[in-house]
């Protein structure tokens, strides 16, 4: 359970989430499915890189909490998204922040301590107001309101790509971005079909992202249970919105070499030095190792055209 250092009562703790649907897959069903062999087509689908066009909204309470300092709030959100990408890289996901809206004047929906009502209002706002003017796959509302029942986040289970339900509300409860990013990652996991970890699930170091009770330390790793459940969800639902790669010009986070997008001033971008599989691209500099036109690798067959 997340501890909230700002709560007056020492014994009051933050629940990690209050997902609206809690019929998770059982350990036995996950074990049975994990023992099945995927078809080549299923393996190809799982191996395709997935992209999340992510939109973040900061409410008026959070804006005022940080002294109406918009650049500071922007840096805070950018740090959170960087943490999300570090967490989701093993799942073959890239989180592309394509929009950040700060409600500096007033909130555009009714935000109240009941997280269910706030989540419903935010989903309706996304469907009716945000999507017509800005395409996105998923949106989160960051707020400083204290939700009832000490809930720190709320979302819908397995709802990615839904116009009204691909949303979450997140309590920005701590000044440490890594702790709030852990909640963001946990709620996104639910949206991607992942339930809470059970007793048989564990991680190599520290608590897992989808643990139902997490101490006041950031989380960075998914358990093997979460990975299997996520794959089961992808193969069952085949969500389409996460397959299209966003334009690099749509991404609003500062240019970074190693994000798989060829940004202005870069010749190539094959990811981090650990992830890069290109013989032509220098992962450290995002510059080509050879002149343009040079052959990086031999053709696999007649249909394998020069890149």
Report the percent of the chain where pLDDT is more than 90.
62
276 and 226, same structural domain? no
List Cα–Cα distances, 247 to 56, 60, 64, 136, 203, in angstroms: 18, 30, 32, 12, 34
The total number of structural domains that make up the chain: 2
User: Of the residues 250, 267, 289, which one is the last residue of a structural domain?
Assistant: 250
Q: Which of 230, 250, 270 is the last residue of a domain?
A: 250
As given in the structure block, the two tokens for residue 277 are 């599989």
- HSE (CB half, 13 Å, CA atoms) of 150? 16
What are the tens digits of pLDDT across the range 195-220? 999 888 888 888 899 988 766 788 89
Residues 206 and 284 in one domain: no
Whether 154 and 262 map to the same domain: the answer is no
Active-site pick, 187, 229, 295, 307: 187
Q: Confirm or deny that 110 is annotated as ligand binding.
A: no
Q: What is the distance between the alpha carbons of residues 157 and 130, in angstroms, rounded to a whole number?
A: 21
> How far is the C-alpha of 210 from the C-alpha of 196, rounded, in Å?
5
| pLDDT score recorded for residue 265 | 85
**Residue 28 counted as domain residue:** no
Report pLDDT for 198.
Answer: 86
DSSP per residue, 114-176: -HHHHHHHHHHHIIIIIHHHS--SEEEEEE-S--GGGB-EEE-TT-TT-TTTSEEEEE---S-
pLDDT digits (tens, 9 = 90+) for 70-85: 999 999 999 999 999 9
Question: Is 79 considered catalytic here?
Answer: no
In this prediction, residue 18 carries a pLDDT of 66
Residue 61 in domain = yes
Tokens of 81: 């998204």
DSSP bridge pairs for 99? 55
115-143 tens-digit pLDDT: 999 999 999 999 999 999 999 999 999 99
Average pLDDT in the chain: 85
Residue, of 8 and 231, whose pLDDT is higher: 231
By mean pLDDT, which of 180-189, 222-231, 292-301 is the weakest? 292-301
Q: Is 65 annotated as a binding residue?
A: no
The answer to whether 196 is a known ligand-binding residue is yes
Residue 17 has pLDDT above 90, yes or no: no
The residue with tokens 């004047």 is 105
One domain for residues 237 and 272:
no
Q: Which of 207, 231, 250 lies at the terminal end of a domain, its last residue?
A: 250
């Amino acid at each position: 359970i997340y501890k909230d250092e700002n709560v007056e009562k020492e014994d009051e703790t933050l629940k990690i989430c209050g997902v609206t649907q809690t019929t998770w897959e059982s350990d036995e069903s996950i074990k049975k499915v994990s023992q099945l062999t995927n078809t080549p087509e299923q393996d190809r689908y799982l191996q395709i890189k997935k992209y999340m066009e992510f939109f973040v909204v900061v409410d008026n309470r959070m804006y005022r909490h940080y002294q109406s300092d918009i650049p500071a709030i922007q840096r805070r959100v950018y740090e959170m998204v960087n943490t999300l990408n570090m967490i989701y890289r093993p799942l073959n996901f890239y989180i592309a922040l394509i929009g950040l809206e700060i409600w500096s004047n007033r909130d555009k929906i009714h935000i109240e301590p009941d997280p269910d009502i706030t989540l419903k209002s935010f989903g309706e706002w996304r469907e009716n107001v945000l999507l017509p003017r800005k395409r996105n796959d998923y949106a989160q509302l960051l707020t400083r309101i204290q939700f009832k029942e000490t809930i720190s986040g709320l979302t819908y289970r397995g709802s990615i790509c839904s116009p009204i339900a691909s949303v979450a509300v997140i309590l920005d409860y701590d000044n440490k971005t890594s702790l709030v990013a852990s909640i963001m990652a946990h709620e996104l996991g639910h949206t991607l079909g992942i339930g809470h970890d059970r007793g048989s699930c564990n991680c190599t170091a520290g608590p897992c992202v989808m643990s139902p009770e997490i101490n006041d330390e950031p989380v960075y790793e998914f358990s093997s249970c979460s990975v299997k459940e996520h794959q089961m969800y992808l193969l069952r639902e085949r969500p389409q919105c996460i397959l299209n790669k966003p334009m690099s010009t749509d991404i609003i986070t500062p240019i970074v070499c190693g994000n798989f997008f060829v940004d202005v001033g870069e010749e190539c971008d094959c990811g981090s030095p650990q992830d890069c599989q290109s013989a032509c691209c220098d992962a450290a500099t995002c510059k080509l190792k050879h002149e343009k036109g040079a052959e990086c690798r031999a053709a696999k067959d007649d249909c394998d055209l020069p890149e």
